[in-house]
Amino acid sequence: MQSVLIYGFHAITSRLRQNPSSVQEIHLDEGRHDQRSRDLQQLAESLGVRVIQTPRQRLDGMAPEGRHQGVVAKVAAALALPHTLDGVLEGLSEPALLLVLDGVQDPHNLGACLRVADAMGAHAVIAPKDRAAGLNPTVRKVASGAAETVPFITVTNLARTLRELQELGIWVVGTAGEAESDLFGIKLDGPLALVLGAEGEGLRRLTRENCDQLARIPMFGTVESLNVSVAAGMCLFEARRQRNAGIA
């Protein structure tokens, strides 16, 4: 079975609670004796997961892409999440709520987007295979377990994927600062794909052209833009609010 490394207390604790059988072993900094490390060790051992006391230097070598906080876990790479868009849509019991990221290359932003997608009940995060961040240990750490609960679907041609979503009756809304409509004034309670671009660059031309509608996030202060994960959280929250309230 293929394995990957994840690191950080949030990501590893979440994996232990959600799917302990997928955690093969945990390497814990042998120099840490604080409550947080003791709690993690106790949880792992109660679930029958091996904990290995490991020198800090070795942990640094195991997780070179980001801060590991003194804990690294070897876990099964695949969980029972859909790996295709069709697989996601076939299993839904409510109208689709999808987050589409166009050109988000920062793994910290992707991890944060996965986290807000999980919080707001999005059914999947979709991104192009090229010019975009993929799932790596940094993404999994920032996502704090959401990388294991939200399907992350990569597609070869994002514009074509948006057209396919439209053919399935999913309304595609792109975010753009210059859009005439704002987020609070449009209908978001049906089958929906929210499309966000990278901070500073926004949506690419073909992506914009394949959206059914463009909308802007109302800004009441002095800043001109938001981090993509913050924007994603606001858009998903408004969509979820409308669904729960039954209003447009």
pLDDT for 78-118, tens place per residue? 555 778 888 899 878 889 999 999 989 999 999 999 999 99
124-159 as b/e, with b when 16 or more CB fall inside 10 Å?
Answer: bbbbbeeebbebbbbbbbbbbbbbbbbbbbbbeebb
* Residues placed in the known binding site: 197, 217, 226
* Residues placed in the known binding site for S-adenosyl-L-methionine: 197, 217, 226
- CATH code of the domain containing 211: 3.40.1280.10
Highest mean pLDDT among 59-63, 65-69, 131-135, 207-211: 207-211
211 and 108 part of one domain: yes
User: How high is the pLDDT of residue 238?
Assistant: 96
25 and 109 part of one domain: no
Please say which residue of 79, 102, 125 terminates a domain.
79
| Residue 29 structural domain | 3-79
232 and 118 part of one domain: yes
Predicted structure pTM score: 0.73
64 and 91 part of one domain: no
183, 217 contact by CB (below 8 A): yes
pLDDT for 120-137, tens place per residue? 999 999 999 988 888 888
